[in-house]
Amino acid sequence: MALPRFLAFLLGAALPLLHLYCTEAGGEVGVSYGMVANDLPPVASVVQLLKHNGITMVRIYDANSTVLTSLANSGIRVTVMMPNDDLAAAARDPSFALQWVRTNVQAYRPATQITGVDVGNEVFTVAPKLAPDLVPAMTNVQAALAQLGLADAVKVSTPVAIDALKASYPPSKGRFKDEIAQPVMKPMLDFLRRTGSSFSLDVYPFFAYDEQPYNISLDYALGNSNDGETDPKTSLTYYSLLNAQIDATNFAMEALGVSDVTITVIETGWASRGERRAGPGRGRRRLLANTCAASIANARAYNNNVINRVLAVKTCTPHRPRVGMDVYIFALFNENNKGYGPDDREAYFGLFYPNMTKVYSFDFVHGTGGPPPQPRASWCVAKAAVGDTKLQESLDWACGHGADCSAIQRGGACFDPDNMVAHASYAFNSYYQNKRRAGGTCDFSGAATVVYKAPNIGNCVLPSKV
């Protein structure tokens, strides 16, 4: 269907406004206060740091008494966690759950505003054997809260990592893994609905991008994107991978017949340093190191996009345009005891260094956190290793599908150097730039790769629009 030219122009011009698919959907932004480190400041100083930065919600990974006592009368709301080690007992024994709630929740309230209990952490990912205990434990903890008159003030949930989904792309195909869908997720969602709680999701576009950098554009992963990805089934356009992953979770819940449980993003964030150096094969190792997903500029961009969006009262997603959500950024500090050997990315998710200076600018009260960094220029080039036959096929395809190949014709500005890799690179890059570097547009069945330094191809200059 060809749109009249003026209409196409108008639609094109309106695109930035279409980002605002939600007029007003509120939420709050908090932080995850992880403490897997040996150099963190005293808890009392941390509470001052939170207050000083206008941070009003914090999530911890236990029910540490020093932390809970220090948060008393601070006005900061806190979600505590029952560790996975206690799940079996809490599932089996209501009196264990009651005692746990008395000691770790009731004892600190109301001076400390404990408003949530996470029962376990990423059970499907880190302790799948405990999956059958999960909903019984949540139920017993909630019953204990009810018995103590705290059921309205304190909500029970459990953080679920995005890998609980067996499919998430496009978002409308979002489904939970078969082994947990009916046995655990369905009763859990019924529990969350019945108790007015929300589904707690751990979601990291960082890892998705870091592990598949050639399928996803960096700007889309960071939430900077002007290049939307449209879900063919729903025709909804996504401008950030975060929203796509959240909606995939919404669709997974709907596939189980639940459409009215809201999501809390209980963890999201981006590493400012570190590399994933472990990986099968030397080529893969080099490839991953080259992508530089973890950087201060990227972490600043991602986390400021998240913070600004909450402050702009726009936490909805394309599929849930009127539903807001709370978001917790992981993490408050860099944690020097995290990370595994040469894979040290996990140690650098902090908003602050342990000396309490910011790793980069951000602002939980006014937003912005300084000007967003300029997107990096990138180019798409041919991989010589796939061989001339495959390159020729892909080159022909690119030239027939929107690449401008006039410059590589005889007499054109980029005919020299006259070889397959140079010509294919020109065509691939032209296609990639014309598609505004959207995810998946520099692939050509594995014949192409994105680079972030201007490629050196004789006198031929490959354009890059930013």
From the CB of residue 461, how many other CB atoms can be counted at a distance below 10 Å?
A: 14
In order of 202, 271, 284, 292, 332, the CA distances from 206 in angstroms are 12, 8, 18, 11, 17
Q: Token pair for residue 250?
A: 């919404």
**Residue with Cβ nearer ligand NAG (256 or 450):** 450
Record the tokens describing residue 375, joined without a space.
């997107």
Q: Are strands 237-238 and 229-230 parallel, antiparallel or unpaired?
A: antiparallel
Contact indicator for 249, 263 with CB cutoff of 8 Å: yes
Residue whose pair of structure tokens reads 């809201």 in the numeric block: 262
- Which backbone phi and psi does 403 adopt, to 5 degrees? -75, 145
3-state secondary structure of 270: coil
Of 25, 36, 43, 296, the residue at the interface with ligand NAG (CB under 6 A) is 43
Binding to ligand NAG in span 67-126, by CB under 6 A? 67
Query: If binding means CB under 6 A, how many residues of this protein chain bind ligand NAG?
Result: 13
230 scored as a contact of ligand NAG (CB under 6 A): no
Could you tell me the smallest distance in angstroms from the CB atom of residue 40 to ligand NAG? Answer: 6
Q: Which stretch binds ligand NAG (CB under 6 A): 59-67, 121-129, 240-248, 343-351?
A: 59-67
Q: Which is nearer to ligand NAG, 47 or 67 (CB)?
A: 67
By CB under 6 A, name the one of 23, 103, 215, 368 that touches ligand NAG. 215
Q: Are strands 448-451 and 379-382 parallel, antiparallel or unpaired?
A: antiparallel
Q: Which is nearer to ligand NAG, 259 or 337 (CB)?
A: 337
Rounded Cα–Cα distance for residues 451 and 437 (Å): 12
By CB under 6 A, tell whether 389 contacts ligand NAG: no
Q: How far apart are CA 118 and CA 107, in angstroms?
A: 17
E strands, 9-154, are: 29-33, 57-60, 77-82, 113-119
Cross-strand pairs, 238: 229
Residue 440 CB, shortest distance to ligand NAG, in Å, is 6
Residue 182 lies near ligand NAG (rule: CB under 6 A): no
Report the alpha-carbon distance of residue 134 to residue 124 in Å, rounded: 10
Stretch that binds ligand NAG, among 60-68, 248-256, 273-281, 458-466 (CB under 6 A): 60-68
Does residue 290 belong to the site contacting ligand NAG (CB under 6 A)?
Answer: no
User: Which residue stretch of 47-55, 177-185, 264-272, 349-357 sits at the interface with ligand NAG (rule: CB under 6 A)?
Assistant: 349-357
Query: From the CB of 311, what's the least distance to ligand NAG, in Å?
Result: 26
Q: Binding of ligand NAG at residue 397 (CB under 6 A)?
A: no
Amino acid, single-letter form, for residue 135: V
Of 193-212, which residues contact ligand NAG (CB under 6 A)? 212
Q: Measured from the CB of residue 378, what is the shortest distance to ligand NAG in angstroms?
A: 17
Kindly tell me which residue out of 48, 64, 74, 147 binds ligand NAG, with binding defined by CB under 6 A: 64
Comparing CB distances to ligand NAG, the nearer of 147 and 336 is 336
CA separation for the pair 299, 357 (Å, rounded): 15
Q: Is 353 in the site for ligand NAG (CB under 6 A)?
A: yes
Which of 122, 211, 254, 393 is the catalytic position?
122
Applying the rule CB under 6 A, the residues between 432 and 461 that interact with ligand NAG are: 443, 446
The distance from CA 78 to its chain's CA centroid, rounded to whole angstroms, is: 22
**Does position 357 bind ligand NAG by CB under 6 A?**
yes
Task: Write down the least CB distance from residue 344 to ligand NAG, Å.
Answer: 15
- What angle in degrees, to the nearest 10, is found between the helix axes of 131-147 and 94-104? 60
Give me the least distance between CB of 145 and ligand NAG, in Å please. 22
Task: Output 160 or 244, the one with its CB closest to ligand NAG.
Answer: 244
Write down how long the chain is: 466
User: Is-catalytic flag, 346?
Assistant: no
- With CB under 6 A as the contact rule, the residue among 29, 31, 35, 221 that binds ligand NAG is 35
Least spacing, CB of residue 126 vs ligand NAG, in Å: 19
- Looking at the DSSP bridge assignments, the partners of residue 29 are 327
The residue within the footprint of ligand NAG, chosen from 167, 169, 376, 415 (CB under 6 A), is 169
Query: 207 with 168: CB under 8 angstroms?
Result: no
Cis upstream peptide for 455 (omega within 30°)? no
Using the rule CB under 6 A, is 38 a contact of ligand NAG?
no
- Per CB under 6 A, the list member of 235, 355, 389, 459 interacting with ligand NAG is 355
**Burial profile 362-385: b = 16 or more Cβ within 10 angstroms, e = fewer:** bbbeeeebeeebebeebbbbbbee
Q: Is 361 in the site for ligand NAG (CB under 6 A)?
A: no
Q: Which of 24, 28, 229, 267 is labelled catalytic?
A: 267
335 is catalytic: no
Pick between residue 68 and residue 265 the one whose CB is nearest to ligand NAG. Answer: 68
Q: Which residues pair with 57 in a beta bridge?
A: 77
- The end-to-end CA distance of the chain, in Å, is 30
Residue whose C-alpha is closest to residue 272's, from 341, 176, 352:
352
Site of interaction with ligand NAG (CB under 6 A): 35, 43, 64, 66-67, 169, 212, 215, 353, 355, 357, 443, 446
Q: Would you name the residues annotated as active-site residues? A: 122, 267
